[in-house]
A and B are shown apart, each in its own frame.
Chain A
Amino acid sequence: MTVVKIFRYIIGILLTFLIVFPFYWVIVSSFKPADQILKPDLFPKAFTLVHYQELIEQTSYLTNLSNSIIVSIGTMAISVLIVIPASFALYRMKFKGRKFVSRLILATYVFPGILLLVPVYQLMADLHLVNSLLGLMVINVTFAAPFSVWLMQGFFDNVPIALDESAAIDGAGRMRTLFQIILPLIGPGIATISIYAFIMAWTEFAFSSVLINSDALRTLPIGLNAIMGQYTVRWGWTTAGAVLALLPVVIFFAFVGKYFVKGLTAGAVK
């Protein structure tokens, strides 16, 4: 029994180290002065904010940041607005073609996104959505929504169908049932799919790199990639940039993370 316990501790410590060390190392490096950053000191001997200051003053980090926030919030809002009604119909109503719709959605999330890079570019060009943040939102929703619909099933199933029935007997229409009875009960599900959409948009790389070609409209990952490409040797900027790119999403996650993990858990087991 104790052998099992010791073994568990060792594995636990190794896994924690594996997850935490890269964060620690990049954060620590970003605060080291330029003449020390290349030295492998685990604990910094001096502390500076100069990389951050230069990054903010001399690169388009702040513009990239605001673009990323706009795209992520937009993706989140649109995806909730189309996923909730669709899930309500799919998991609560009987209608002809229901199977077809759920197959169509399933087909999407098994479909290789990269294969669509070229034609999506052409589509966006036709719609005048190349070099536009709206274009990025459109494609992010495409890849966030199907998994979200799948996740919502667990949440809808947890609301007893008897509630819908008694609402109907009381004379409430279907839409009123959705807004007044179901929505308040699937709050955690809505939170989960919102966070999922936000993270998908925040981290998206392939489409953003193809669909955006002006500096002013780059999102963070693309901006950071450009900074890296131009200044490979400037590890001060690169590490500081990495910290600034992960900070907003980590802060966001600090507030909503527990709902997300719980929601993913609840949604996935159905």
Chain B
Amino acid sequence: MLGKGKKFNKLLPYLLVAPIVIWILVTIFVPLISVIKESFYSTGFIGTKGTFVGLDQYKAALTSSAYWTAWKKSLIWVLGNGLTQTVLAFSVALLLNKASRMTNFARNWMIIPWIIPTIVVAIFWQWIFNGSYGIFNHVLQSLHLIDKPINLLGDSFWSFPIVIFINTWHWFPFMAVIVLAGLSTISQDIYEAADVDGANKWQQFWRITFPSLGKITFALGLVGTLWSFNIFDTIYILTGGGPAGASTTVPVMIYQQAFEQFKIGQASATSIITAIFLSIFAFFFLKFAGPKEE
């Protein structure tokens, strides 16, 4: 009896983690293997069979200027989003980092842009920035900044920054909640002591607040970068990658190759190369920026 119970206890953790492990293996690693396989075949339409082409599609991706342009766009995307979201998230978090009726209400509700579907976010801003009747154009016109309405989302220079702005609007509240969580762990006594020592708010932020958030900023830096790199829906819904490729980041390019140009094999090779670059990034990030363990 006792022996049986012991055996069960040994097996128990494996039984408990089995569902999630199997789930992940089936929905991520099985597909991953099939991407690797497809990347060596010239498959066109989904479900058709291609011929073996070896590393040709890898060569094609690495030597295509379109791929590197997409990487450039992706870097601008990640940096642009990272910068604007960090600034906004920290501003909100620092404003709300004290208890009062109003801040409690704001804390719960400020996350609202994050909970609504991307398509709704897209409608919000397409309506505001609309090139013919948008209220934004109306405001600019009444301030005499422009003479006639401009279609910002269709503009080859403005569309990409505008999409970054819209995505920032969608995501910074989530980041703010995480930063707030970090702030709540810093003891108020430290600030009081700093006040006594005559440190101003700015010095307190850089000397106390920022360093104490090390672990959180690290997690946001890694996960946030990868999450934002992978964002596809916002760009695709708003501009479809255009105009003329102005907002074609790497994920958008992969989608277009697979579902618009029907080059599954090429899209797979592009995916694999991209995944390798991202893993290298994650590896170095973990190695050099990771919080030092004592």
Check A118 against B35 for contact (C-beta < 8 Å): yes
Q: Answer whether residue A264 sits at the interface, using C-beta atoms and an 8 A cutoff.
A: yes
Check A253 against B201 for contact (C-beta < 8 Å): no
A268 to B222, CA, bound (A): 14
Whether A15 contacts B92 in the complex (CB less than 8 A), given A246-B117, A253-B115, comes out as: yes
Q: Answer whether residue A67 sits at the interface, using C-beta atoms and an 8 A cutoff.
A: no
Interface residues of B in 43-101 (CB under 8 A from A): 46-47, 88, 91-92, 95
A83 to B108, CA, bound (A): 25
A122 to B46, CA, bound (A): 8
Query: Main secondary structure on chain B at its contact with chain A?
Result: helix
Checking B114, B124, B132, B272 against A26 with a beta-carbon cut-off of 8 angstroms, the contacting residue is B124
For the complex formed, measure the closest distance between the CB of A8 and the CB atoms of chain B, giving whole angstroms: 6
Check A111 against B275 for contact (C-beta < 8 Å): yes
Query: Main secondary structure on chain A at its contact with chain B?
Result: helix
Residues of A within 8 A of B133 (CB): 38-40, 235
Contact string, A161-200, partner B, CB cutoff 8 A, digits 1/0?
0000000000001110000000000000000000000010
Check A145 against B23 for contact (C-beta < 8 Å): yes
Check B24 against A104 for contact (C-beta < 8 Å): yes
Q: Answer whether residue B157 sits at the interface, using C-beta atoms and an 8 A cutoff.
A: no
Q: Answer whether residue A46 sits at the interface, using C-beta atoms and an 8 A cutoff.
A: no
Check B35 against A225 for contact (C-beta < 8 Å): no
Q: Answer whether residue B163 sits at the interface, using C-beta atoms and an 8 A cutoff.
A: no
Q: Answer whether residue A55 sits at the interface, using C-beta atoms and an 8 A cutoff.
A: no
In the complex formed, the residue of B with least CB distance to A225 is B119
Q: Answer whether residue A6 sits at the interface, using C-beta atoms and an 8 A cutoff.
A: no
Q: Answer whether residue A203 sits at the interface, using C-beta atoms and an 8 A cutoff.
A: yes
A250 to B17, CA, bound (A): 33
New A-B contacts (12) at CB < 8 Å, excluding given A95-B13, A112-B229, A175-B12: A29-B127, A95-B10, A108-B24, A112-B274, A114-B232, A116-B32, A122-B34, A123-B31, A220-B119, A221-B120, A266-B181, A269-B216
Pick 5 A–B contacts, CB within 8 A, sort by A.
A40-B133, A118-B267, A145-B23, A238-B127, A260-B111
